Structure 1
Amino acid sequence: MLSALKVVKALPTSSARTMIQRSFAAAASQETLKKTVLHDFHVEQGGKMVPYAGWSMPVQYSNLGVGPSHVWTRQNASIFDVSHMLATRITGKDRIKFFESLTVADLENLPVGSGTLSVFTNENGGIIDDTIITKHQDSLYVVSNAGCADKDLAHLRKHLAAFQNKGGDVDLKVIDDHQLIALQGPKAAKVLEALVGKSLQDFPFMDARYLNIKGIECHVARSGYTGEDGFEISVPNGDAVALTKLMLESPDVELAGLGARDSLRLEAGMCLYGHELDETITPIEAGLTWTIGKRRRAEGGFLGAAKVQEHLKNGVERRRIGLVVTGAPARDGAEIFANGELVGKVTSGCPSPSLKKNVAMGYVKNGLHKSGTELEVQVRGRKQKAVVTKLPFVPAGYHKI
């Protein structure tokens, strides 16, 4: 196994390095790391494994560096093992009421079979975690971050017990008998169509279906974390390796790791928890107002709703922005200046493999967030020019029907 510290030095993105450094420190005191069902397969395929959020995960593969893997995903299709993510199923006749008390999502009006990005909020309107919620006829299928899994479960179970004690009919089950595999890129649909034997043209982005993939029954959501078209496939543990091998038979598919996943999501303007999102940042500050439906904005009813509604009414003091940086890359923590005044900081940054420019996200004082605003970032003790740029940096390739 390649030393995690060596891998960290090799990564091109600040957030990828930071998240692995943090997880390395957390994992150092643990006797063993958790492994996905695909762990040994990753090693066989040349995966460089590192500790991440208590798991042993591939950061890249020997046949493709992080940059080439990133470009491959933008042009073809890549497989990401995301089985470390926390997946839960919420059942019971009061499941919508319960989950709307903890998230900003309008689940009542979400069509069956559709999914939505949302956030868990705390009593002050800060973000506990971001999550994807899919509404099925008899349940909610919820996927949230591996690094927040223990915190999320404690939060959910605390409020679940209180809700049940008041007579609420709801239950929660952690899904541990399935693995989660993401197939991402413009050729993802072509690859999956060949395996299911039918067109997926009528399968909208952010919807989910149960599909038979060469005899393997899977829950498939058309979603992902790269800004490209793609699918997140929940597959029974015993079939995970076989399904991965089936997809890899296509010449359009390669394996990809955490390094490419992070640079892809940054180009796509997507938030990473612990960087763009944390418990002091509200959805309005984070630019996630669109996740709050009209009914929820008016009615509230979720933790911290008063603070969020105040931000909706009166505005915020800071805003999440995108930056194109001249000179050296601006990394996580770099200070942002306007006319010599400290006005914010960078939360993620890297050289963009697609654009051949240095890009970053961060927070600045409200009023400095408009596209074209000229700022400076301090990198290695020197101030460099930076321009506020509309997000995403790379246009999304989501499937539309």
Structure 2
Amino acid sequence: MIFVTGGAGFIGSNFVLQWCSNTDETVLNLDALTYAGNLANLQSLEQSPQHRFVQGDIRDTELLKQLFAEHKPRAVLHFAAESHVDRSIIGPEAFVETNVVGTFRLLEATRAYWNGLEAADKAAFRFLHVSTDEVYGTLGPNDPAFSETTPYAPNSPYSASKAGSDHMVRAYHHTYGLPVLTTNCSNNYGPYHFPEKLIPLMIVNALAGKPLPVYGDGQQIRDWLYVEDHCAAIRRVLDAGTPGETYNVGGWNEKANIDIVQTVCALLDELAPAGKRGVRHAKTGESLTHYAELIAFVTDRPGHDRRYAIDARKLERELGWKPAETFETGIRKTVQWYLANQDWVTGVLDGSYRDWVQTQYGAKA
């Protein structure tokens, strides 16, 4: 059995689904089901004995002890995190609580369990910590991409909290010998992405005729990684990674935000033409010809990092992994998924989400 934290979130649920479709091994899934955790992501596993779900908080030490004692996992895969930069700017404390305190308590519970294992099981055990490229800070236009040796320089409360969790994981390896692995990934996209992040927000807003808010000049550059590629990389690192090592996971797709938005609009024009759907501009009431008519530049967020880029050569060189999807194939699959799963979208668009979007973007658009 493996123990997954945050397995009802975006990346975590995609990992659980991929794991269960590719292996026979059972998954113990612990998730607090905060706003972005959604059991609907895992509906296909509802009756599966391979998936055991527990609602709970990674800060709950007693619950963690109980789960380790009862299920005796061979590995922990730690996805659980607060992950939205904008939310961290408005409410940073939740990020410290979950990402720093939560990771610490999970590490402590894991260490206690690991120390009690027999020698062979202890040697085979792994703790895999899923992190982000944002811990490295920002790059200039001509700077080399982030490598595993790039110094940490986080610039948001979110990235600082993830950097703190990365350091704790590293310390537990060097101090206690806990066999840890860390992955730092670039921007993920794909199915089940909560629509506060760029790509799903653009899709959902466009289909509703709402403005497509683009920060600043839209020239912030990110590397884009299809979520199923990321999950495959994590499985590979779990299988063959060297304890104590860090592996950067990227898609080799540096794109400016405005280019992402225009690509999504062009795909929607092709796959779900606004004219045929009768989409009207939510503000003006006018019929839309092209979704790009909805693009609205808004005030940039504080401390917005300009460029991220991932050098994923270590992962390819040492473990033989590279992404299967190009950005063109991955973004098409993503748009098609959202068009085919409007019931899922409707289910996540509750009052609290709409309030959040209005708070974040309403006064800026």
TM-score w.r.t. structure 1 length?
A: 0.25
Q: Which has the higher strand share?
A: 1
Instruction: Give the number of the structure whose residues are more often helix, by fraction.
Output: 2
